[in-house]
Homo-oligomer: A and B are copies of this chain.
Amino acid sequence: MNLILIESPELRGDRVHLSDARAEHITAVLKARLGDEIRVGLLNGNRGRAAVIAIEKGAVELDCRFDEPAPPPPRVDLLLALPRPKVMRRLWAQLAAMGVGRIILTNAWKVEKMYFDSHVLRPEGYRPPLIEGLQQAGDTRLPDVHVFKQFKILIEDELDGLFPDGLRLLARPGEGSSVLDAVPAARSGRVLLAVGPEGGWIPYEEELLTAHGFLPVSMGTRPLRTDTACLALLALAHAKQRREAGYHSL
């Protein structure tokens, strides 16, 4: 954890009493003592510093000052055919750490319907790992999560609302221009990256996506696992956005 995230309802004034894994982290990993300052963040709010004002058995009391802005919001969103729950469970934290604004999960022909019953798709299943990823990366903004069981309805009726402007890219192994060439120079432009199921989209799905503005891009000829592909794509989109925007040294 490079930041301890605190939620507004936990605060009493500037103070918060922690007795969960965060308290454990503060005492056992950071080895903080009375009076030490640690880095904190307010979920979906500012970052800042907190003084350790009390340490009891398994609990810590902090006096917080949230006076630094959060990092700039990610300008990348993800449209992902739901992977196996085991893969999705591991992916949440890594997506939040890399930085993604909105995560849109969808059914597809090659996604097993029963995946949608998994605990990893419920807020109590994905919120903790998302927060873990934010704490790793020093961010405070929880990605938006949307789950669609009907691919056609998502693409035809809902997507323009969720992702009104910006570039839509469809990642697949094989031929196709590089993500690096596709991601635009515009400082404010958003990118939506579509990643298919392990077995790939079926032709009908690819046609629907391209009919709705998705441009095919490739990371080469090696088929990657869903989780590997998502992280690689996010890395490329972020690096290109940073670079084109002239943020060479951020």
Indicate if the CB atoms of A228 and B98 lie closer than 8 Å.
yes
Indicate if the CB atoms of B235 and A181 lie closer than 8 Å.
no
Q: Could you tell me the distance between the alpha carbons of A181 and B90 in the complex, rounded to whole angstroms? A: 31
Question: Which segment of A48-56, A170-178, A188-196 sits at the interface?
Answer: A170-178
Question: Which segment of A61-69, A110-118, A144-152, A239-247 sits at the interface?
Answer: A239-247
Q: Which residues of B contact A94 (CB under 8 A)?
A: 225, 227-228
A177 in complex: contacting residue of B93, B137, B179, B249, CB < 8 Å:
B249
How many identical chains are in the complex? 2
Indicate if the CB atoms of B250 and A97 lie closer than 8 Å.
no
Indicate if the CB atoms of B225 and A177 lie closer than 8 Å.
no
Indicate if the CB atoms of B99 and A222 lie closer than 8 Å.
yes
Give the Cβ gap from A125 to chain B, nearest Cβ, in Å: 20
Q: Does A248 contact B (CB under 8 A)?
A: yes
Q: Does A46 contact B (CB under 8 A)?
A: no
Q: Report if A138-B232 is in contact (Cβ < 8 Å); known contacts: A177-B248, A248-B177, A249-B176.
A: no
Q: Which residues of B contact A177 (CB under 8 A)?
A: 248-249
Indicate if the CB atoms of B222 and A139 lie closer than 8 Å.
yes
Indicate if the CB atoms of B181 and A248 lie closer than 8 Å.
yes
A-B contact sample (17 more), CB < 8 A, given A139-B222, A179-B239, A180-B180: A71-B222, A97-B228, A98-B228, A98-B232, A137-B222, A138-B221, A138-B222, A175-B250, A176-B249, A178-B239, A180-B239, A180-B240, A181-B243, A219-B239, A228-B231, A232-B232, A235-B236
